[in-house]
C-alpha cells in the first residue's frame, strides 16, 4: 500500500556542520529519500556550511557518496545534487557569513538552519545568524544533547531563545520520528479498546527497553562524558514513557501533545537511586557475532561512565499511582531491540485448575525496532482434542508484513515536519528542562555514592543487579522480545 506524499513548501535549508557524521549518515540520505518521493519542490535548496574549505563540487561529491546506499538512478542523483550549495563558514568567526547571506533567497517560503554541530556552538551560531540579519522568520533545528544537566540546558535554551522564538525552535528527539512511536498514539487514541483499561486498575507494570548491540563507535569523547542516563534516558526513554503514560490530548496540535507529556514529566516520582537504579559498564565479551573489547579498552582509559542503566520509575497521578515503569537501556546487549511492554494484571481467579497450566497475564508489546510490530499476548486453549490446556499466543501485527512499505528513517519525517512547521514531534523547552529536573538528582546521588558501575559481559542483558531490580517486585524482564515459555510469534495468530 503506497503512502500519500504531499509536497512541502519550497525551502532553503542550511546544514551547519554539513561535512559531519550526522549530515552524512542521516540528513543527506533522508533529504534524498524525500526528494525521490517527490515531496521536495523544484526550487528547494540545501546549503552545506562547514569549517572545511571545499567548493560546491566537493560537497556534491561527498553528498553523492552519502546517498549511494539508496541506489539512486542517475536522474534522481542529479536532481538531488543540483539542489546543493556549499559555503565555507566559521561558526565562531566572521568568515563565510556574508557569502551565506548572499546565497539565501529572501523570497523562499521557509528558511531553516539545522545546527548539526557540537552543542557548544549552538549559542555562538544563533548569535551570528542574528548578527548577520539572517534569523527573520527562520527556523532552527538542534539535536541533543541539550545541556548535560538542568542548569546547562537552561543556558543553551536561553541562548537559542534570545534569537529564535519557541515556535521557531525544533529540538529533535529522533525517537519521536520513529514510525511505531506514532503508532503508539494511534493505538491508544484511535481505538476505543485500550483506553478504558490503560490505568493502574488493569495495568500491572510497564517495561521500556532500548537495547543496542553496538559499542560507543568512535564517539568515545562525547559518550564518556555523557553515559547512558544522559544519552538515552533523559531524552528518548522519557519521551517513550510520556507517550505511553500521557492523558489523551485534545488534538494532535504540537502544544496539546506537549502539554500532556509535560504533565507526565512533572508527575515523575523522585527516584531512590540506591534501590531503584542500576548502572552497568560492559567488559570484553561477544556481540554481533564476534569478540568485542570492553568499554574501558574502547575509550582507552579507566572510566566509570555507565553504558547500561536500569530504573524503576513511578508516576504520581490518578492513572498511574502504584504502577512501576521499568526502564533499561544499554550498549553491547545481546540484541538490538526497542520495545514498550504494557503488562496487564492477572485474572482475578483461575477457573482452570493446575492441569491446564498457568494463566499468564496479558501483555501488549509495542516494538519500535527492529521489525516494527504490535503483539497482544493472549491465553487460548491449546488446540486439539485433549483436555483443557492453556497456552499463550500473540496476536501479531507486523508492519512490514502487513504493509510491505519501506520504513522511512525518523529523520525523513522530522525534516519534512520542520519545513511544514509542525512541532508536534519536537521537544519544547519546558519538556527538556522537566526531564533534566528528574534526572539531575539521580546523577547527583550516583556522584555522591561514588560506586563504580557494575560490570557486565558484552553480549549479555546487563548486570545481574538489573534482574534483581525488577525481580524484587515479583516481575521479570521480557528479555526475548516478549516470547516466553517456548511460544513464539510463529505459533501466534498473525494479522
Ligand atoms: C542516539 C544516542 O541518540 O541514539 C546513541 O546518542 C544511540 O548513543 C542512538 O546509539 C540510538 O538510536 P537508534 O535510532 O539507532 O535506536
Residues 260, 402, single domain; the answer is yes
Q: Cα(306)–Cα(27) distance, rounded to whole angstroms?
A: 29
> Does position 190 have pLDDT exceeding 70, yes or no?
yes
154 or 4, which is more confident: 154
So what's the pLDDT on residue 398?
85
Atom of ligand 1 nearest to the CA of 369: 16
Residues 219, 128, single domain; the answer is no
So what's the pLDDT on residue 181?
87
* Cross-strand pairs, 279: 309
Confidence of residue 371 (pLDDT cuts 50, 70, 90): confident
Q: What is the mean pLDDT of residues 64-77?
A: 97
Looking up cell 509542525 gives 422
Q: Cα(112)–Cα(429) distance, rounded to whole angstroms?
A: 19
Residues 184, 101, single domain; the answer is no
Cis amide linkage into residue 226, ω under 30° from 0: no
Residue where one domain finishes, among candidates 95, 119, 143: 143
Cis amide linkage into residue 316, ω under 30° from 0: no
Residue 157: inside a domain, yes or no?
no
- Sign of the four-CA dihedral 286, 290, 293, 295: negative
* Cross-strand pairs, 470: none
Name the residue among 148, 120, 207, 152 with its Cα closest to residue 439.
Answer: 148
Residue 151: inside a domain, yes or no?
no
* Number of neighbours of residue 405 by Cβ within 10 angstroms: 12
Quote the crossing angle between the two packed helices 238-245 and 254-267, to the nearest 10°: 100
Residue where one domain finishes, among candidates 143, 162, 192: 143
Please give the residue range of the domain that contains residue 43: 11-143
Residues 139, 180, single domain; the answer is no
Question: Could you give the C-alpha distances from 183 to 191, 319, 426, 482, in angstroms and in order?
Answer: 11, 21, 16, 19
Atom of ligand 1 nearest to the CA of 178: 14
Among 29, 30, 148, 212, residue to substitute to test ligand 1 (most atoms within 8 Å of Cβ): 212
Percent of the chain clearing pLDDT 90 (strictly above):
86
SS3 204: strand
Alpha helices in 68-174 (DSSP H): 74-81, 97-103, 122-131, 150-161
Given 132, 236, 266, 494, the catalytic residue:
236
Residue 65: inside a domain, yes or no?
yes
> Does position 180 have pLDDT exceeding 80, yes or no?
yes
Distance 286 CA to ligand 1 centre (A): 20
> Does position 442 have pLDDT exceeding 80, yes or no?
yes
Residues 272, 191, single domain; the answer is yes
Residues 388, 259, single domain; the answer is yes
Among 232, 337, 339, residue to substitute to test ligand 1 (most atoms within 8 Å of Cβ): 232
Distance 236 CA to ligand 1 centre (A): 9
Question: Between β-strands 390-398 and 308-313, what pairing exists: parallel, antiparallel or unpaired?
Answer: unpaired
CATH number of the domain to which 81 belongs: 3.40.50.720
Residues 122, 192, single domain; the answer is no
pLDDT digits (tens, 9 = 90+) for 286-295: 988 899 999 9
Q: Cα(410)–Cα(71) distance, rounded to whole angstroms?
A: 19
Q: Cα(164)–Cα(19) distance, rounded to whole angstroms?
A: 25
* Contact predicate 329/228, CB 8 Å: yes
> Does position 345 have pLDDT exceeding 80, yes or no?
yes
Atom of ligand 1 nearest to the CA of 212: 10
So what's the pLDDT on residue 455?
98
Give yes or no for residue 231 CB within 6 A of ligand 1: yes
Atom 15 of ligand 1 has which residue's CA nearest to it? 212
Number of domains in the chain: 2
Q: What is the mean pLDDT of residues 446-453?
A: 96
So what's the pLDDT on residue 314?
98
Confidence of residue 493 (pLDDT cuts 50, 70, 90): very low
So what's the pLDDT on residue 482?
40
Residue 186: inside a domain, yes or no?
yes
Residues 38, 137, single domain; the answer is yes
Q: What is the mean pLDDT of residues 351-364?
A: 95
pLDDT digits (tens, 9 = 90+) for 137-148: 999 999 988 999
Distance 338 CA to ligand 1 centre (A): 11
Residue 166: inside a domain, yes or no?
no
Distance 96 CA to ligand 1 centre (A): 32
Residue 149: inside a domain, yes or no?
no
Average pLDDT, the chain: 93
Question: Could you give the C-alpha distances from 229 to 160, 279, 296, 437, in angstroms and in order?
Answer: 24, 9, 18, 13
Residues 224, 96, single domain; the answer is no
Confidence of residue 3 (pLDDT cuts 50, 70, 90): low
Give yes or no for residue 479 CB within 6 A of ligand 1: no
Percent of the chain clearing pLDDT 70 (strictly above):
96
So what's the pLDDT on residue 284?
97
So what's the pLDDT on residue 124?
95
Residue 148: inside a domain, yes or no?
no
| Model pTM score | 0.94
Give yes or no for residue 212 CB within 6 A of ligand 1: yes
Residue 155: inside a domain, yes or no?
no
Q: Cα(166)–Cα(138) distance, rounded to whole angstroms?
A: 12
Confidence of residue 484 (pLDDT cuts 50, 70, 90): very low
Q: Cα(243)–Cα(168) distance, rounded to whole angstroms?
A: 23
> Does position 253 have pLDDT exceeding 90, yes or no?
yes
Is 236 designated active site?
yes
So what's the pLDDT on residue 182?
87
Residue where one domain finishes, among candidates 102, 126, 143: 143
Which uninterrupted H or E stretch holds 84? Answer: strand 84-88
Q: What is the mean pLDDT of residues 331-360?
A: 95
Looking up cell 544519552 gives 231
Name the residue among 240, 210, 396, 406 with its Cα closest to residue 308.
Answer: 210
Distance 128 CA to ligand 1 centre (A): 30
Residues 203, 333, single domain; the answer is yes
Residues 339, 259, single domain; the answer is yes
Phi first, then psi: what are they for 333, rounded to 5°? Answer: -95, 175
> Does position 36 have pLDDT exceeding 70, yes or no?
yes
CATH number of the domain to which 215 belongs: 3.30.360.10
So what's the pLDDT on residue 278?
98
So what's the pLDDT on residue 480?
54
Atom 13 of ligand 1 has which residue's CA nearest to it? 175
Among 21, 119, 172, 174, residue to substitute to test ligand 1 (most atoms within 8 Å of Cβ): 174
Residues 378, 261, single domain; the answer is yes
- Close Cβ partners of 47 (under 8 Å, ≥ 6 residues apart): 12, 13, 14, 15, 84, 85, 86, 87, 100, 103, 104
So what's the pLDDT on residue 109?
84
Confidence of residue 487 (pLDDT cuts 50, 70, 90): very low
Atom of ligand 1 nearest to the CA of 214: 10
- Sign of the four-CA dihedral 347, 348, 353, 354: positive
Q: What is the mean pLDDT of residues 279-308?
A: 95
Distance 3 CA to ligand 1 centre (A): 26
Q: What is the mean pLDDT of residues 69-79?
A: 97
* Contact predicate 466/310, CB 8 Å: yes
So what's the pLDDT on residue 403?
81
Question: Between β-strands 308-313 and 110-115, what pairing exists: parallel, antiparallel or unpaired?
Answer: unpaired
> Does position 422 have pLDDT exceeding 90, yes or no?
yes
Amino acid at each position: 500500500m503506497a503512502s500519500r506524499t504531499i509536497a512541502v513548501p519550497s525551502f532553503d535549508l542550511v546544514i551547519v556542520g554539513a561535512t559531519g557524521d550526522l549530515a552524512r549518515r542521516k540528513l543527506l540520505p533522508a533529504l534524498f529519500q524525500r526528494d525521490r518521493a517527490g515531496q521536495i519542490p523544484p526550487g528547494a535548496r540545501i546549503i552545506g556550511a562547514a569549517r572545511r574549505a571545499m567548493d560546491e563540487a566537493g560537497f556534491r561529491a561527498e553528498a553523492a557518496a552519502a546517498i549511494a546506499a539508496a541506489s539512486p538512478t542517475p536522474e534522481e542523483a542529479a536532481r538531488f545534487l543540483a539542489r546543493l550549495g556549499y559555503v565555507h563558514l566559521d561558526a565562531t568567526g566572521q568568515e563565510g557569513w556574508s557569502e551565506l547571506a548572499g546565497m539565501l533567497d529572501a523570497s523562499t517560503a521557509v528558511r531553516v538552519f539545522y545546527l548539526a554541530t557540537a552543542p557548544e556552538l549552538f549559542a555562538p551560531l544563533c548569535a551570528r545568524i542574528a548578527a548577520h540579519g539572517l534569523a527573520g522568520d527562520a527556523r532552527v533545528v538542534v539535536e541533543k544533547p541539550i545541556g548535560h544537566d538542568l542548569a546547562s540546558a537552561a543556558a543553551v535554551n536561553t541562548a537559542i531563545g534570545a534569537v529564535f522564538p519557541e515556535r521557531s525552535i525544533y529540538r529533535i528527539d529522533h525517537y519521536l520520528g520513529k514510525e511505531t512511536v506514532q503508532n503508539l498514539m494511534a493505538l491508544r487514541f484511535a481505538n476505543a479498546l485500550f483506553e478504558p483499561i490503560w490505568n493502574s486498575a488493569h495495568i500491572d507494570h510497564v517495561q521500556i527497553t532500548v537495547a543496542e548491540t553496538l559499542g560507543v563507535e568512535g564517539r568515545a569523547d562525547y559518550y564518556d562524558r555523557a553515559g547512558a542516563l544522559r544519552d538515552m534516558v533523559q531524552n528518548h526513554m522519557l519521551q517513550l514513557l510520556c507517550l505511553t503514560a500521557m492523558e489523551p490530548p485534545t488534538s494532535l496540535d504540537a502544544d496539546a501533545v506537549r502539554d500532556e507529556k509535560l504533565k507526565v514529566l512533572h508527575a515523575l516520582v523522585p527516584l531512590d537511586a540506591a534501590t531503584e537504579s542500576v548502572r552497568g559498564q560492559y567488559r570484553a565479551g561477544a556481540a554481533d557475532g564476534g569478540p568485542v573489547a570492553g568499554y574501558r579498552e574502547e575509550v582507552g582509559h579507566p572510566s566509570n561512565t555507565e553504558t547500561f542503566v536500569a530504573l524503576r520509575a513511578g508516576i504520581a497521578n490518578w492513572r498511574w499511582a502504584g504502577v512501576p515503569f521499568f526502564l533499561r537501556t544499554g550498549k553491547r546487549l545481546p540484541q538490538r531491540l526497542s520495545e514498550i511492554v504494557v503488562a496487564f494484571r492477572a485474572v482475578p481467579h483461575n477457573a482452570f485448575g493446575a492441569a491446564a497450566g498457568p494463566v499468564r497475564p496479558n501483555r501488549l508489546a509495542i516494538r519500535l525496532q527492529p521489525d516494527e510490530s504490535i503483539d497482544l499476548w493472549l491465553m487460548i486453549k491449546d488446540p486439539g482434542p485433549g483436555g483443557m490446556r492453556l497456552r499463550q499466543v500473540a496476536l501479531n501485527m507486523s508492519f512490514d508484513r502487513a504493509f510491505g512499505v519501506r520504513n522511512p528513517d525518523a529523520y525523513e519525517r522530522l525534516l519534512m515536519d520542520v519545513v511544514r512547521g509542525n512541532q508536534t514531534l519536537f521537544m519544547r523547552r519546558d519538556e527538556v528542562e522537566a526531564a533534566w529536573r528528574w534526572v539531575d538528582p539521580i546523577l547527583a546521588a550516583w556522584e555522591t555514592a561514588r560506586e563504580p558501575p557494575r560490570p557486565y559481559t558484552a553480549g549479555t542483558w546487563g548486570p545481574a543487579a538489573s534482574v534483581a531490580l525488577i525481580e524484587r517486585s515479583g516481575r521479570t524482564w521480557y528479555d526475548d522480545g516478549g516470547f516466553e515459555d517456548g511460544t513464539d510469534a510463529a505459533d501466534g495468530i498473525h494479522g
